[in-house]
Amino acid sequence: MSDSARCPTTDNGALFACQGQLPRLPVPDLDATLAKYARSLEPLLQPDELTHSKSLIEEFKRSAQGRELQQRLESRAADPSCANWLEDWWNNLSYMGYRDPVIPYVSYHYSFSDDPGCSTAVERAAKLIDGAIAFRQQVVDGSLEPDMTRTTPLCSHSYNFMFNACRIPSIPSDHCQTSTYNGNETVVVVRGGQFFVFSFLRNGSQLSVDEIAATLEQIVQVADANTAEPIGILTADNRDSWARNRKVLLGLPGNKDLLDSIEASAFLVVLEKERPVTREEFSHAVWHGSGRNRWFDKPCQFVVCDNARAGFCGEHSMMDGTPTLRLVESAIAYASELPTPSAARAKRDPELRALHFQTSSAIVSAVKQAETLFATAVSKQHLRVLCFDAFGKERIKQLGCSPDAFIQLVIQLAYTRLHGHARPTYESSMTRKFLHGRTETCRSVTCDSVVWCASMADQNTDNAARIKLFRDALATHSLLVKEAVNGQGVDRHLLGLRMLVKQGEEMPGIFEDPAYSYSSHWYLSTSQVSSENFTSYGWSEVTPKGYGIAYNICKNCLIIHIICMRNEYGLDSDRLARSFETAAKDVHDMLSGSPHKQ
């Protein structure tokens, strides 16, 4: 089923035309990284802890082992057979080797704005399917232009894993399976825990949007009149458990063909019976629903609820947000130009196949266990979506600020006010300007940000001084982001050095230092994906002690998706949302010299 032609380099149209010209991810200078690392610890540690950590950093800097590890990493990066020195380590450690369920701990979601041209789920889904098929065709024939940052092309490698791909559970590490494009022009639809597959190419002719609508109507009719064991919930289980249960499924007659149909399909469409109203209900519905009506291993799942509200759930292992953002933006724009579909106008009758899985007592038991695990994990997620409409990107730019750096500093102020101190903060920075690049960490807590936050609580600091401190923090943050996107961050380099300590060699003290694990324990995990077409987007926290904060910087508003666990650490997404709202207004007033007039 694997298709080696899915990883082209330079000869498959515009999309991959620049691959051979992309620079490789650099290995930063060791002394420079260690100096940055030391600076990143200064606002996080007590004086005695900082002194100890800096001594270990200096020891590593002067050691023969430090130089040897740097040389090993440089040799790995120079190996012509290694496209990216970080790629295999990162994909395995962060995704494929991660054993907890992908929901809620890995996958992310986009919740779309409503389509005024659609009043039913079938209408909305048909239009989005048509739009996604059109985008897929550009990926298949390579006519899609590569993503760009101004004049710089970005790596297109991740597009190989967008369509006709699936994460496959394995022990000790999962893998991504890709299938041929030709012969797999299919969409899998899930309704009421039942799976159906249809081909969008019939006798060489693509189905019209009306014919897609007719197919979906028939699926809804069949699914609503029947029930089935919700096999899809198994994809929400612990990865080792799912790997074992997948083998059990494969051992039952006929199931291999059914699994192949799902895993090889272009993408998956979920027709949910839910009718979410609030932003939080909507986010939960798109992100995971009941868990019974999904196949969470598919990279791309379009989700449409019975009230025609729609969104996207992405499996994160091989793609980050920018490629799927482009997919859904394109599908939404394409759909907006289509007339409202009508099954009555379909010229060809629907042709679809229901995928009836064979089950056993072991599978039924596994389903119940997966449902319990899923329900427990999801019930702990405390989610709040804040639509801050006092101002947005345009006003922030008028104030002379980078919108992203502005939001990051507001987050720091909001968290510090609520919890009394700064904690290690991760901001995802894209490194796709490099071959097979994905992300680097921007360590958002700096001495400048901490000093500025303190000034906001100090009545003896006047407004001019606060503004100066704020702009210093803003400039520092923007510099850190610039370094990260240019492959000059701290975390990926240190990871590479640590990974090259051979079995039997002593682990350097810098990596045994509690400050190393603490400073990369992300109490705040943050990232931006901005679209005027979204009402929210988000994912879970990455530690039980922290928050996940996804933000969408719109022209005239800010949409902030905040999530944490309900547990013994007493975090509260509602309170942090309120603190963000107050902090954002305070920063605006500080910079403008007067309260914002709504």
Contact partners, residue 308, CB within 8 Å, separation at least 6: 114, 115, 118, 119, 120, 121, 123, 124
How does the average pLDDT of the chain come out, rounded? 96
DSSP 121-190: HHHHHHHHHHHHHHHHHHHHHT-SPPPEETTEE---GGGGGTSSEEEE--SS--EEEE--STT--EEEEE
Residue 404: pLDDT over 60: yes
d(CA 74, CA 48): 34
d(CA 30, CA 42): 19
The pLDDT assigned to 595 comes to 54
The predicted model gives 321-330 an average pLDDT of 97
Q: In 3D, which of 439, 406, 438, 442 has the Cα closest to residue 424?
A: 442
Beta bridge partners of 560: 386, 551
pLDDT tens-digit readout, 540-561: 999 999 999 999 999 999 999 9
Beta bridge partners of 168: 175
The predicted model gives 276-293 an average pLDDT of 97
Alpha helix positions (H), 175-306: 209-224, 239-250, 255-264, 279-287
Q: Where are the beta strands (DSSP E) in 278-407?
A: 300-305, 310-314, 353-355, 381-388
Catalytic residue among 109, 284, 316, 588: 316
The pLDDT assigned to 597 comes to 43
| Confidence at 505, pLDDT banded by 50, 70, 90 | very high
Q: Three-state DSSP class for 114?
A: coil
8 Å CB contact between 351 and 198:
yes
Q: Three-state DSSP class for 525?
A: strand
Residue 5: pLDDT over 50: no
d(CA 20, CA 48): 49
pLDDT tens-digit readout, 82-110: 999 999 999 999 999 999 999 999 999 99
In which residue are the tokens 């001019």 written?
464
d(CA 185, CA 199): 6
8 Å CB contact between 415 and 401:
no
The pLDDT assigned to 594 comes to 61
Q: Three-state DSSP class for 214?
A: helix
Contact partners, residue 143, CB within 8 Å, separation at least 6: 13, 14, 15, 137
Backbone angles phi, psi at 587, to 5 degrees: -65, -40
The predicted model gives 257-284 an average pLDDT of 98
Residue 9: pLDDT over 50: no
Q: In 3D, which of 546, 547, 554 has the Cα closest to residue 529?
A: 554
d(CA 566, CA 306): 29
In which residue are the tokens 């007067």 written?
594
Give the Cβ contact number of residue 80 at 10 Å. Answer: 6
d(CA 267, CA 412): 38
Answer yes or no: 316 catalytic: yes
pLDDT tens-digit readout, 205-252: 999 999 999 999 999 999 999 999 999 999 999 999 999 999 999 999
Backbone angles phi, psi at 569, to 5 degrees: -85, -5
The predicted model gives 364-392 an average pLDDT of 98
pLDDT tens-digit readout, 507-552: 999 999 999 999 999 999 999 999 999 999 999 999 999 999 999 9
